[in-house]
């Protein structure tokens, strides 16, 4: 039987964004903590995946940030955890590590691409920093690049190509975390078109060409291209635990980020929140926040996160944010909701999802020129606000005019219900 070695009071599995945040939180609270990672050198905190398409010297400062925790942390690298149980982490071929609490922060992975011919030269599955860099250096400008897969990141990839002079098109097979509401999709598609990028829903069936990618087949049509880039979805990377996985295969956690195994917590991309209004949502878009909460609770605190999840992105000079679920997710949960949305200007739109009976706003989606205030304030508008409080409430209609105006529009149709 493998020996069992005490390592620290808290053991954090994964030295990514969530894991480092959890460990820092423990250190801050004076708790003895160790971090373990399967990699020799965990990926640094990221700026963005599409940044990696740019030549190294021109990447954003955030993409180049080194992994440098505020406090020196006790780290074990190149060691994979293969199973976790109460108070113990089993390592591959190594000892069983003992700790009072364990925080799982194993992140997410790219779902494998299932497109015929996708491994052909000139076709790139963007599933690692290296593949982004390869695509960026292989195809600079004046090429026809066809991008397909997940839409939100696909848009950012297409934007990078269009700024370097390439002609990019995007075929979207899915959206993460969820499909945009119609007014928001209209704004984003038009902003893409202004840069010469055609966006269409669909699925690529095959990458074709004699020796390299020359065209893709999608929905019975042929799209000639010089390069093909596939943007895969991200799915949770779970560590085996004696508890059933969530809907997306993640580790189920409650609002205190406790798993069903006592003393074991989870945060970041591997953690799936029970009772989340967007079922199957992971905490991958909020790795630092969830890491801090899991770290605090593993150190004995009692912090709780709400069921409303936020996501934000920037593309084409626009800020795009979602807080809470949209109408399709609510209806799938049996909630009786309505949606009010409008494109207010060429580059701005807002959609609110609210309970038909009470007018309580459960979801907000906003897109508008970057640095406008509504997108930044959107996280405060879903969950407890109502159409009435957003339309005339204390947040101040000048700060969130886009949201207030949409709420006023909603009030008109709601009072007519």
Residues of this chain that bind ligand FAD (CB under 6 A): 13-19, 36-39, 42-43, 46, 48-49, 52, 80-81, 105-108, 129, 237, 239, 268-269, 284, 287
**What is the C-alpha end-to-end distance of the chain, expressed in Å?**
67
Q: Could you give the 3-state DSSP secondary structure of residue 283?
A: coil
Torsion sign across C-alpha atoms 240, 241, 245, 248: negative
For residue 392, the minimal CB distance to ligand FAD (Å) is 35
Residue 416 has what DSSP assignment? T
> For residues 46 and 175, which CB has a smaller minimum distance to ligand FAD in the complex?
46
Torsion sign across C-alpha atoms 127, 133, 139, 145: positive
For residue 128, the minimal CB distance to ligand FAD (Å) is 8
> For residues 207 and 235, which CB has a smaller minimum distance to ligand FAD in the complex?
235
User: Which residues on neighbouring strands pair with residue 325, listed in sequence order?
Assistant: none
344: its two tokens: 């207010």
For residue 380, the minimal CB distance to ligand FAD (Å) is 22
Can you tell me the distance from the alpha carbon of 89 to that of 4, in angstroms, rounded to the nearest whole number?
9
- Comparing CA positions, the residue from 287, 291, 294 lying closest to residue 257 is 294
> For residues 38 and 322, which CB has a smaller minimum distance to ligand FAD in the complex?
38
Quick one: three-class SS letters along 130-150? HHHHHHHHHCCCCCEEEEEEE
25: its two tokens: 């939180």
For residue 117, the minimal CB distance to ligand FAD (Å) is 27
For residue 69, the minimal CB distance to ligand FAD (Å) is 13
For residue 281, the minimal CB distance to ligand FAD (Å) is 13
> For residues 45 and 410, which CB has a smaller minimum distance to ligand FAD in the complex?
45
> For residues 340 and 375, which CB has a smaller minimum distance to ligand FAD in the complex?
375
* Distances, alpha carbon 240 to alpha carbons 80, 290, 372, in Å: 12, 20, 43
User: Which residues on neighbouring strands pair with residue 36, listed in sequence order?
Assistant: 13, 76
For residue 333, the minimal CB distance to ligand FAD (Å) is 25
CB 52 within 8 A of CB 64: no
> For residues 155 and 216, which CB has a smaller minimum distance to ligand FAD in the complex?
155
Rg of the chain (C-alpha set): 23
> For residues 106 and 184, which CB has a smaller minimum distance to ligand FAD in the complex?
106
For residue 132, the minimal CB distance to ligand FAD (Å) is 8
2: exposed, middle or buried (Cβ count in 10 Å: 0-12, 13-18, 19+): exposed
Can you tell me the distance from the alpha carbon of 381 to that of 209, in angstroms, rounded to the nearest whole number?
50
User: Which residues on neighbouring strands pair with residue 116, listed in sequence order?
Assistant: 206
For residue 20, the minimal CB distance to ligand FAD (Å) is 8
Residue-level length of the chain: 417
CB 241 within 8 A of CB 261: yes
Give the nearest residue (CB) to ligand FAD. 16
> For residues 184 and 235, which CB has a smaller minimum distance to ligand FAD in the complex?
235
For residue 271, the minimal CB distance to ligand FAD (Å) is 8
Phi/psi of residue 291, each to 5°? -60, -45
> For residues 107 and 359, which CB has a smaller minimum distance to ligand FAD in the complex?
107
> For residues 232 and 284, which CB has a smaller minimum distance to ligand FAD in the complex?
284
């Amino acid at each position: 039987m493998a020996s069992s070695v005490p390592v620290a009071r808290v053991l954090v599995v994964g030295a990514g964004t969530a894991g480092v945040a959890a460990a820092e939180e423990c250190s801050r609270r004076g708790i003895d903590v160790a971090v373990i990672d399967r990699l020799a050198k965990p990926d640094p905190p990221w700026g963005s995946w599409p940044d990696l398409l740019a030549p190294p010297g021109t990447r954003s400062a955030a993409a180049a940030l080194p992994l440098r925790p505020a406090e020196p942390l006790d780290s074990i690298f190149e060691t994979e955890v293969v199973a976790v149980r109460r108070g113990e982490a089993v390592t591959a071929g190594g000892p069983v590590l003992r700790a009072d609490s364990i925080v799982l922060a194993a992140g997410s992975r790219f779902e494998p691409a299932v497109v015929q011919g996708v491994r052909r030269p000139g076709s790139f599955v963007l599933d690692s920093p290296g593949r982004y860099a390869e695509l960026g250096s292989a195809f600079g400008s004046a090429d026809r690049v066809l991008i397909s897969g997940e839409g939100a990141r696909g848009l950012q990839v297409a934007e990078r190509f269009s700024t370097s002079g390439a002609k990019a098109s995007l075929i979207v097979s899915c959206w993460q975390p969820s499909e945009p509401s119609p007014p928001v999709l209209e704004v984003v598609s038009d902003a893409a078109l202004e840069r010469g990028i055609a966006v269409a829903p669909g699925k690529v069936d095959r990458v074709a060409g004699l020796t390299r990618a020359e065209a893709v087949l999608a929905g019975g049509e042929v799209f000639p291209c010089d390069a093909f880039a596939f943007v895969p979805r991200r799915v949770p990377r779970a560590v085996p635990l004696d508890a059933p996985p969530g809907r997306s295969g993640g580790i189920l956690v409650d609002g205190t980020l406790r798993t069903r195994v006592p003393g074991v917590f989870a945060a970041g991309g591997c953690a799936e929140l029970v009772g989340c209004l967007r079922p199957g949502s992971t905490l991958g878009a909020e790795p630092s926040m969830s890491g801090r909460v899991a770290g605090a609770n593993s150190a004995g605190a009692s912090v709780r996160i709400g069921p409303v999840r936020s996501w934000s992105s920037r593309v084409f000079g626009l800020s795009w944010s979602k807080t809470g679920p949209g109408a399709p997710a609510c209806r799938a949960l049996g909630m009786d909701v309505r949606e009010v949305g409008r494109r207010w200007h060429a580059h701005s739109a807002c959609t609110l999802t609210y309970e038909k009976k009470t007018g309580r706003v459960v979801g907000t989606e906003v897109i508008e020129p970057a640095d406008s205030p509504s997108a930044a304030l959107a996280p405060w508008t879903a969950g407890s606000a109502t159409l009435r409080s957003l339309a005339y409430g204390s947040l101040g209609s000048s700060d969130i005019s886009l949201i207030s105006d949409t709420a006023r529009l909603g009030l008109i149709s709601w009072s007519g219900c």
